[in-house]
């Protein structure tokens, strides 16, 4: 009889519901999450943080080895989804609503909010940085790791106008041995990329290292792919670029390398300059950038070290925020005291140039984040903490009462 019931569609759905809301599923997912976290932590030693995050936590499936034994595990992303649905069904829908379980119910709601916040952050948050010397003013935020191909037009006054951008997602999908043609919509030339490396270094052909590089030689240089750095921000991509004028002019070839981009806010990028139909253009690999709806000017950067040490004690920036139609606002941004405004948060991140000492002219770097779920974890913590507190307090009282009761009972054994 029981077997017949199981075959009916209604009971099949019930089985799915029971499975999805079960403690067993929760236990398995939690065990797997622990394992994934362990692998993801140890994996950072070899892969670096960014690559490990992509491989273990933001993937659907990953392979690894324990010693020489290969293993396959689900990535963090599906596990967190399953955990979310398991909690909704098991801890909110299915659970018996009684006073004794009130604390657990509250704490699970908090955890759901935390997971939801994690998802919103993963899907919608953006982060980048803004670096400037005192006196500089900008509203431009640059990506830490995303590079894009930009074609600029140089005016007669030698000013640059951005004409064309080949986005980072498309650029990074090009393999080192792949040729990709990009139509120069509206431009008097087409663009061809002959291989892209996410970390590379141009080497002179006279250098001994160049002998081992199987790549095309242009102007006495070859582009040598490098192993990816563990610090993803330190990767400098490079590619072979070919400009194919749509007219009769000859194609122009060059090596584009991210090392020609500015790494100090006081510098300017050095694009590859070429001429088509009498007009000067520039091509460069530049960091992806976007703007915020207000400008920030660095008025003063304060840098202090502990006396007699090279350890930073404090670094803070005094800035002025400018926005059309609003009065200018002067404020301070320092460690643990960010500026939050219009959904953007500016954190005092670092400073430079490297090796600067107090008294040197230094630039200040802000991390700029835009996260719709910015404050969700705090709310989730309050809810979860309160729920757990209620639950464990009730348990503790029960434990203490039972312990004293058992002691007061006469021993029979």
Partner 1 sequence: MKLRHILATLSLILAAPVCLEARDAPESVLPNYEAWSPETVHAFEHILIQDDGRVKPIYTVARFKLLQFSGRTSASFSTQDGESHSLHYAEWLLDVLFRGEIAKDMPIFTIDDSETVVQIGVSPKSKRDKYSYNELLPGRARLAELAQQYAEKQQQHEQSEKDPQFELDRIEGMVLNLGRNVSAFEYLLGQFGFTRPGEFLVNENILPDELVALSAKIDPIEMLDRMPEMTINQLVQVIQQPPSGDEDEAMFSGALRLFFFHASSARGLNIVPPESNETEEWLSAGDVLIKGLESKEARPWAKEQLQSIQELVDAQKAGPEQFQKALDEYGANQKSIATERGEGEHSALEVQLYRGKWFTRALVFFIIAFVITALSWLSPASAYGRIMIILASLLAIAGLVLNVYGISLRCIIRDRPPITNLYDTVLFITAVAVFLGLFIEVVTRIGVGTLLAVFSGVAGMFLSIKYEAKEATDTMGQLVAVLDTNFWLWTHVTIINIGYAAGMIAALIGMLYLSVRLFMDFAGKRNKDFLRVLTRMNYGIICFCLFFSLVGTVLGGIWANYSWGRFWGWDPKENGALMICLWTLVILHGRMAGWIREIGVHMNAVLLGGIVTFSWWGVNNLGVGLHSYGFTEGVWRSLYLSWMIMAVFLVMGAISWFVERSRKKKPGRSDPPPSKPLPA
Footprint of partner 1 on residues 83-102 (CB under 8 A)? Answer: 100-101
DSSP H helices in 87-180: 102-124, 168-172
For 138-142, the CB contacts below 8 A with 24+ separation are 138/295, 138/296, 139/291, 139/292, 139/293, 139/294, 139/295, 139/296, 140/289, 140/290, 140/291, 141/289, 141/290, 141/291, 141/292, 141/368, 142/287, 142/288, 142/289
Subset of 122-161 contacting partner 1 (CB under 8 A) = 127
Q: How many residues bind partner 1 (CB under 8 A)?
A: 72
288 vs 141: CA distance, rounded Å: 9
339 binds partner 1 (CB under 8 A): no
Q: How far is the CB of 296 from partner 1 (least distance, A)?
A: 15
Q: Which stretch binds partner 1 (CB under 8 A): 151-159, 275-283, 324-332, 396-404?
A: 396-404
The encoded tokens of residue 35 equal: 């394992």
Nearest to 130 by CA among 287, 249, 270, 8: 287
333 vs 297: CA distance, rounded Å: 12
Q: Return the ∠ at Cα 214 (arms to 212 and 217), rounded to 5°.
A: 105
Site string for partner 1, 253-292 (x = CB under 8 A): ----------------------------------------
Which one of 1, 2, 45, 66 is in contact with partner 1 (CB under 8 A)? 45
Subset of 58-77 contacting partner 1 (CB under 8 A) = none
The encoded tokens of residue 314 equal: 């404090």
Q: Which stretch binds partner 1 (CB under 8 A): 137-145, 172-180, 242-250, 329-337?
A: 329-337
> Is there a contact between 101 and 367 (Cβ–Cβ < 8 Å)?
no
Give the three-state DSSP class for 353: coil
Q: Which stretch binds partner 1 (CB under 8 A): 194-202, 206-214, 278-286, 385-393?
A: 385-393
Smaller CB separation from partner 1, 67 or 325? 67
The encoded tokens of residue 197 equal: 């490396």
Q: Which stretch binds partner 1 (CB under 8 A): 21-29, 161-169, 175-183, 290-298?
A: 21-29
360 vs 349: CA distance, rounded Å: 18
403 binds partner 1 (CB under 8 A): yes
307 binds partner 1 (CB under 8 A): yes
User: Hunting for tokens 């936590």 — which residue is that?
Assistant: 57
Q: How far is the CB of 42 from partner 1 (least distance, A)?
A: 7
Smaller CB separation from partner 1, 311 or 354? 311
Count, residues in the chain = 413
> Is there a contact between 320 and 153 (Cβ–Cβ < 8 Å)?
no
Q: Which stretch binds partner 1 (CB under 8 A): 155-163, 209-217, 281-289, 362-370?
A: 362-370
59 vs 85: CA distance, rounded Å: 18
Smaller CB separation from partner 1, 132 or 241? 132
Which one of 148, 345, 364, 365 is in contact with partner 1 (CB under 8 A)? 345
> Is there a contact between 265 and 131 (Cβ–Cβ < 8 Å)?
yes
Smaller CB separation from partner 1, 140 or 228? 228
The encoded tokens of residue 163 equal: 């004409």
Smaller CB separation from partner 1, 110 or 195? 110
Q: How far is the CB of 24 from partner 1 (least distance, A)?
A: 4
Subset of 225-244 contacting partner 1 (CB under 8 A) = 229-230
Subset of 197-216 contacting partner 1 (CB under 8 A) = none
The encoded tokens of residue 238 equal: 């490079």
Q: Which stretch binds partner 1 (CB under 8 A): 145-153, 205-213, 242-250, 405-413?
A: 405-413
């Amino acid at each position: 009889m029981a077997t017949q019931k199981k075959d009916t569609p209604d009971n099949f759905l019930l089985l799915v519901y029971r499975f999805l809301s079960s403690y067993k599923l929760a236990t398995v997912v939690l065990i797997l999450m622990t394992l994934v976290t362990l692998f993801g932590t140890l994996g950072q030693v070899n892969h670096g943080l960014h690559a490990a995050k992509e491989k273990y936590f933001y993937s659907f499936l990953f392979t690894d080895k324990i010693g020489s034994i290969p293993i396959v595990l689900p990535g963090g992303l599906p596990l967190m989804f399953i955990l979310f649905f398991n909690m909704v069904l098991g801890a909110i829908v299915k659970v018996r609503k009684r006073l004794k379980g009130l604390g657990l119910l509250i704490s699970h709601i908090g955890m759901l909010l935390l997971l939801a916040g994690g998802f919103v952050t993963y899907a919608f948050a953006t982060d980048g940085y803004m670096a400037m010397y005192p006196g500089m003013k900008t509203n431009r935020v640059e990506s830490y790791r995303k590079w894009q191909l930009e074609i600029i037009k140089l005016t007669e006054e030698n000013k640059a106008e951005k004409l064309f951008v080949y986005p980072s997602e498309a650029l990074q999908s090009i393999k080192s041995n792949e040729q990709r043609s990009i139509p120069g919509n509206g431009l008097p030339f087409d663009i061809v990329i002959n291989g892209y490396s996410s970390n590379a270094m141009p080497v002179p052909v006279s250098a001994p290292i160049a002998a081992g590089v199987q790549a095309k030689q242009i102007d006495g240089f070859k582009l040598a792919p490098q192993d990816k750095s563990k610090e993803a921000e330190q990767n400098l991509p490079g590619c072979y670029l070919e400009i194919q004028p749509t007219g009769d002019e000859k194609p122009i070839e060059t090596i584009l390398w991210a090392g020609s981009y500015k790494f100090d806010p006081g510098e300017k990028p050095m694009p590859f300059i070429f001429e088509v139909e009498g007009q000067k253009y520039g091509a460069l690999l530049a960091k992806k950038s976007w703007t915020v709806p207000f400008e920030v000017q660095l008025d003063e950067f304060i840098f202090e070290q502990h006396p007699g040490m090279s350890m930073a004690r404090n670094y803070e920036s005094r800035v002025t925020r400018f926005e059309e139609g609003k009065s200018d606002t002067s404020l301070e941004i320092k460690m643990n005291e960010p500026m939050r405004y219009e959904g953007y948060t500016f954190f005092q991140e670092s400073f430079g140039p490297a090796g600067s000492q107090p008294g040197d002219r230094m630039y200040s770097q802000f991390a700029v984040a835009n996260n719709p779920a910015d404050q969700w974890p705090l709310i989730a913590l309050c809810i979860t903490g309160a729920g757990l507190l209620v639950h464990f307090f009730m348990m503790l009282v029960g434990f203490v009462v039972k312990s004293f009761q058992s002691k007061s009972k006469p021993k029979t054994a």
